[in-house]
Structure 1
Amino acid sequence: MSSPLWSLDEIVAATGARIGRGFDKATGASIDTRTLEPGDLYFAIKGDVHDGHDFVPGALEKGAAGAVVSEEKAPAFASDRLIVVPDVLEAMRQLGRAARKRTDAKIVAITGSVGKTGTKEAMRLALSRQGATHASVASYNNHWGVPLTLSRMPRGTEFGVFEIGMNHAHEILPLTAMVRPHVAVITTIEPVHIEFFPSLWGIADAKGEIFSGLEPGGTAVINRDSPYFERMKAHALASAAGRVISFGEQEAADIRAERIVVKPDQSLVEARVFGQLLSYRIGTAGRHIALNSLSVLAACHALGVDLAQVAVSFADLKPPVGRGERTMLSIDGDEALLIDESYNANPASMRAALANLGAMELNGQARRLAVLGDMKELGEKGPALHEGLAEAIEANNIDLVFAAGPLMKNLVDRLPEAKVAAHAGTSAELIDVVCAAIRPGDAVTVKGSLSMKMALVVKALKERYGASPTANALKG
């Protein structure tokens, strides 16, 4: 029988908690009663909308091993299975630090303006073929997501993969200090959350904070194609890093893509890894995905992992939900392709999505349709960055654009009238017009910031026309 994730004594040693009767051990950790599993330790953290203490009774009824509650709120509950602490979030951090301290795992941390989650998933897949691997769930990369992921890490983990995000300067510093990675990766620097920074240089500096947490002698992995490469490298050299590895398409990159071929459901890559040729197939489409795969090779090289096996693992990579998932819709006895990019959006990822749509080779009178929602947190640059998407629309031969949100009006006004199918205030208002417009053979991409709820359009298309996974359905 495997050992528990946390024993009573370990929790007390890490947090100094006062523990009520009935608690013995925990097999997992959770902050959400909707996904809580029996045996989980439930942390009643206070969020922006809800206070986790309101759900303590439900968590215990659902089979939580115990509930971590604050001293202030504890009197409201029966004492059974309560773990009482001064501050619940800090207790989760303390448990996370304890998990990091007790493990001998090799740890990778990933940040960047674009591609964090996809790169994390590729890293998780590659390392899981080498040994027991623990990784962030979804995009758990913030002030609660990172310590929660750490607190869930089993003591026998061999590799740990952590995604670290930020909206403001200095948010990465405490997170990377908890994770203490052996390898730290920055995918790229783009105008994401630019509303909170004076310039892209500020974003580069904020992302560079990830190197401050590197274990002595660790490795910094940096995008050589970025105009901010030297600035990020300076952050790495000011840290405890013992080595910097670069990746990209530039001749000077240590791990360089010589050739990338993007097909509808896969990407083919020929790369030079410190001069040695390595060819591989990635089981999902996207030039940006192919480039980020180079950072996975770099991290795995730093860890001493067999790169041939890593390259083979890429063939099994599938896009996370809302980040490029492809499904076929059944329309009038034929099919159309739906590309779900609805999870989030920024100028770089929006252009990448349009480029992927443009790479589709369609038959006959089939069209490329883009359903786009506002990109948020761009500040005063928002209108211009939306207007600038017109170039990508034209370059990638997008036939029709369906736009949602006030910022997308800037794009609509810039496009030829024939390319604008509809503009509405919300994604919900686009559902009927998109569903009515799609025809057999079409390819449609749906993308926008999370708050725009573009997933509503995806859901409606799937419900109305059915959905099945695609494999070699269209040529590219």
Structure 2
Amino acid sequence: MRDGILWTWPELCKAVGADAVNGPAVRGIDIDSRKLAPGELFVALNGDPGPRFPGARPSPRDGHDFLEAAFAAGAAGALVHRDAPGEGPRLVVGDTLDGLWDLGRAARARSMARVAAITGSSGKTTVKTFLAQALGAFATGGSLNNHLGVPLSLARTPADARFAVYEIGTNHPGEIAPLSRLARPDVAVVLNVHPAHIEFFEGIDALRREKLSIAEGLNPRGTLVCLDALDRTGLDAGLRVMTFGEGAGADARLAAFDGRQATIATPSGTVRAKVPGGGTHRALSLTAVAAVLVAFDEDPRRLADVADDAVPAGRGNRIEAGEVTLIDDSYNANPASMSAALRDLAGQRGAGRRVALLGEMLELGEDSERLHVALAPLCARIDRVFCVGDGMRALHDRLEPERRFGFVESPDDLDPVALTALLEPGDVVLLKGSNRVFWARDFAARLRDALNARAV
């Protein structure tokens, strides 16, 4: 970044098609006045994006109503499309959402960075974090992977970045391809296809096609990296593809994993690397990163640059609290990621019990009950299971009586203080569910605090 400057005002004007005028340089961009840092540009988005983006949910909030708050927080300027109270420099456009996309498009056009874009039903943020560390790449925090997050991530990319990593998500058909065409990746990654966010798709094959549509945005000499077991029917026959996985034919192959160290065979040589957070699913995530490194003609030994604590918050972090170990995997859940987390929990060894606090998996459509019940055999390897949310009722009913630890119909009915009374020193507790069940309620932190208070 040029002396901390992300965009000059004339550059912003040119990006959104406005007449170039002098104004303040900006050091960042945000769409939330509560998170805005001094010196950043505030983009005042209308809460209703209209029909432009499949699956976009309207919000009653309008960023223009928070213009005063943004300037009070130190905003260098604001991108607006209507008048609103607030004192500070403004760049006026016809529509601020279009303006945000224009900024993202201009950022990609000016950038010399080599770009990776990642999609999949699970693991996107983890792989983005691992890959960004391995490459020393620019990447935004969190999961900015929709029609707002992708252009915002692009617009935040420093002009002098050598590598950049973005993630792209979907819960409706037709979302991924436009976002990929905006990001124009040199390497596009499809990690997996599971029945997650499938409610608005005709079936798993429709979701598969949607994930693979990330290839539509690839640069002409780009590479698609995907799981070796993924059906690639429908892809352009001339597309360069690299695979990763456990199969003998995978280009980047997880050859061995002992719980902490992975041995990964690649066309550029075999490497051994620590797997942050452990678990076979994270070892496969690291294998995907190795494939991307090779696709970029980078040394796969750069996996050594991925820190032991690289697992993003809520994706399996271990928290010690009041003589109880919490495994906070609460950011989100689908049948595959839930199964992987339960297998990891079953493999935990210690003096205490293995306890699963499972929240319902949302957006599974008509197969929801079947997919929840399908977790029962894995739960049979767990000492106690507490089920949260109406979608988990069928699983709770299927559990053996001695494994039932409790059930509440709504996350609102779950009291962390009352839950601590059920837990014993030495217990290992998995916290896993859809985003709205635990993560949005900051439940892991509340349970941690309750356990620590009990220990005093």
CA gap of 1:14–1:460, structure 2 versus 1, over 3 A, is: closer
**Structure-to-structure mapping, 1:19-418, within 5 angstroms:** 23-47=23-47, 48-70=59-81, 73-74=82-83, 76-77=84-85, 80-128=88-136, 133-226=137-230, 228=231, 230-231=232-233, 234-235=234-235, 237=237, 241=239, 243-262=240-259, 267-274=260-267, 276-308=269-301, 310-330=302-322, 335-363=323-351, 366-394=352-380, 397-418=381-402
Deviations 1:145-177 (A, max 9, x none): 000010011110000100000111110111111
AA matched with 1:302: A
CA distance 1:327–1:3, change in 2 (3 Å): closer
Aligned partner of 1:205: which letter? R
How far has the Cα of 1:3 moved from its partner? 6.0
Bigger strand share: 1
Which whole-Å CA distance do the structure 1 matches of 2:222 and 2:104 have between them?
21
Deviation (angstroms), 1:83: 1.1
Are 1:402 and 1:434, in contact at CA under 8 Å, matched by a contact in 2?
Answer: no
1:446-469 Cα shifts (integer Å, max 9, x gaps):
1111122355442232112239xx
What CA distance in whole angstroms lies between the structure 2 residues aligned with 1:86 and 1:55?
19
SS in 1 for 2:33: coil
Give, as a single letter, the amino acid of the residue that structure 2 aligns with 1:357: L
Give 1:277 shift.
Answer: 2.4
Q: Report the Cα offset of residue 4 of structure 1.
A: 2.1
Alpha-carbon spacing, 1:275–1:102, altered in 2? closer, same or farther (3 Å):
closer
Q: Say whether 1:436 aligns with 2:421.
A: yes
Tell me what 2:410 maps to: 426
Q: How far off is 1:314 after superposition?
A: 3.0
CA root-mean-square deviation: 1.8
Quote the Cα distance in structure 2 between the aligned partners of 1:317 and 1:124: 14
Change (3 A) 1:341 1:3: closer
- In the alignment, what sits opposite 2:11? 10
Q: Distance in 1 between matches of 2:397 and 2:4?
A: 61
What TM-score do you get using the length of structure 2 for normalisation? 0.92
Query: How many angstroms does 1:319 deviate by?
Result: 1.6
Contact 1:20 1:82 in 2 (8 A): no
Describe the shift of the 1:19–1:77 C-alpha distance in structure 2 as closer, same or farther (beyond 3 A).
Answer: farther
Query: What are the Cα deviations for residues 77-121 of structure 1, in whole angstroms up to 9, with x where unaligned?
Result: 357411111100110110111111111110000000111111111
* Separation of aligned partners in 2, 1:304 and 1:274: 10
User: How far apart are the structure 1 equivalents of 2:392 and 2:104?
Assistant: 41
Q: CA deviation at 1:213?
A: 0.5
Give distance in 2, aligned partners of 1:460 and 1:219.
Answer: 43
Report the residue type matching 1:424 in the other structure. V
Give the distance between the partners of 1:280 and 1:28, measured in 2 at CA. Answer: 35
1 CA distance for matches of 2:60 and 2:342? 34
Query: Is this contact kept in 1: 2:68–2:86, CA < 8 A?
Result: no
Output the CA distance in 1 between the equivalents of 2:276 and 2:433.
24
**What's the secondary structure of 1:369's corresponding residue?**
strand
Q: Separation in 1 of the partners of 2:92 and 2:326? A: 48
> Take 2:220 and 2:385, find their aligned partners in 1: how far apart are those partners?
50
Please state how far the C-alpha of 1:225 moved relative to its aligned partner: 2.6
- Is 1:452 aligned to residue 425 of structure 2? no
Residue 450 of structure 1: SS of its match in structure 2?
coil
Contact preservation (8 Å) 1:172, 1:210: yes
Q: Distance in 2 between matches of 1:399 and 1:351?
A: 16
* Paired amino acid for 1:191: P
Aligned letter for 1:358? A
TM superposition shift of 1:261: 2.0
Consecutive unaligned residues of structure 1, counting only runs of 5 or more, are: 468-476
Distance 1:235 1:435 in 2: 51
Distance, in Å, in 1 between the alignment partners of 2:383 and 2:438 is: 23
The AA in structure 1 aligned to 2:18 is A
- Tell me if structure 2 keeps the 8 A contact 1:345–1:450: yes
- Partners of 1:275 and 1:27 in 2: CA distance: 39
CA contact (8 A) 1:344 1:449 kept: yes
- Taking a change above 3 Å as real, the CA distance of residues 252 and 368 of structure 1, as seen in their structure-2 partners, is same
Who is 2:449 aligned against?
463
Shift of 1:428: 3.8
What's the secondary structure of 1:10's corresponding residue? helix
Provide structure 2 residue ranges, at least 5 long, that are not aligned to the other structure.
48-58
Q: Calculate percent identity across the aligned residue pairs.
A: 38
CA deviation string 1:315-374 (max 9, x = no partner): 4342211111111112xxxx22100011111111111111111110122xx111111111
Give the Cα–Cα distance (whole angstroms) in 1 for the partners of residues 180 and 109 of structure 2: 14
